[in-house]
Amino acid sequence: MNQAHLHLLVNHVPILGSLFALVLLGAGLLQKNTTMIRAGLVAVLAAGVLCLPAQLTGEGAAEVVQTLPRVSRALIQDHETAAEQGFWVLEGAATLALLALLLLKNNSPRARLVAALALVATGLSFGLLARAGSLGGRIVHTEIREGFGTPDEL
């Protein structure tokens, strides 16, 4: 098993994890259900932690696939840039989630505001990570590239 294989095994977790956390936290905030808010915040925190393996295996995966036929360095770079943006936004969301959990524990009136900020950051991270996943898929899956089968596809 090489770094590309490991990256493929873990790279969907942050995307789906941030979506799950977004829905759970959003539902909790809409329903004003503290238990669901806590669960959503824990899910955001978990997505942030589980994003680390995808980030850490990305460079090794790039080294493996860059020598394959019809793999463009520009596609790899676009994916890396998008993934790094999504990673840092998700880490920011996880930090806000941790802060919100601490504020909830202390019954702070600001807990819901920080949880709402974590929700917005999680939504943004999901969008960025979904885009990164789409760009990553184009690296090897030539059939999903625009211009597939044309001379200028690379």
Model pLDDT, residue 144: 61
Model pLDDT, residue 139: 84
Q: What span, in angstroms and rounded, lies between the C-alpha atoms of 118 and 24?
A: 12
Contact indicator for 128, 44 with CB cutoff of 8 Å: no
Model pLDDT, residue 134: 92
What sign does the dihedral 120-126-129-135 (CA atoms) show?
negative
Where exactly are the structural domains of the chain?
Answer: 3-143
Measure Cα distances from 100 to 19, 34, 84 in Å.
Answer: 19, 11, 24
Q: Which fold has domain 3-143?
A: Four Helix Bundle (Hemerythrin (Met), subunit A) (1.20.120)
CA-nearest of 76, 101, 93 to 18 is: 93
Per-residue pLDDT of the chain (154 residues), as tens digits, is 888 888 988 999 999 999 999 999 999 999 999 999 999 999 999 999 999 999 999 888 888 888 888 788 888 999 999 999 999 999 999 999 999 999 999 999 999 999 999 999 999 999 999 999 999 988 877 666 666 555 544 4
Model pLDDT, residue 149: 54
Contact indicator for 90, 49 with CB cutoff of 8 Å: no
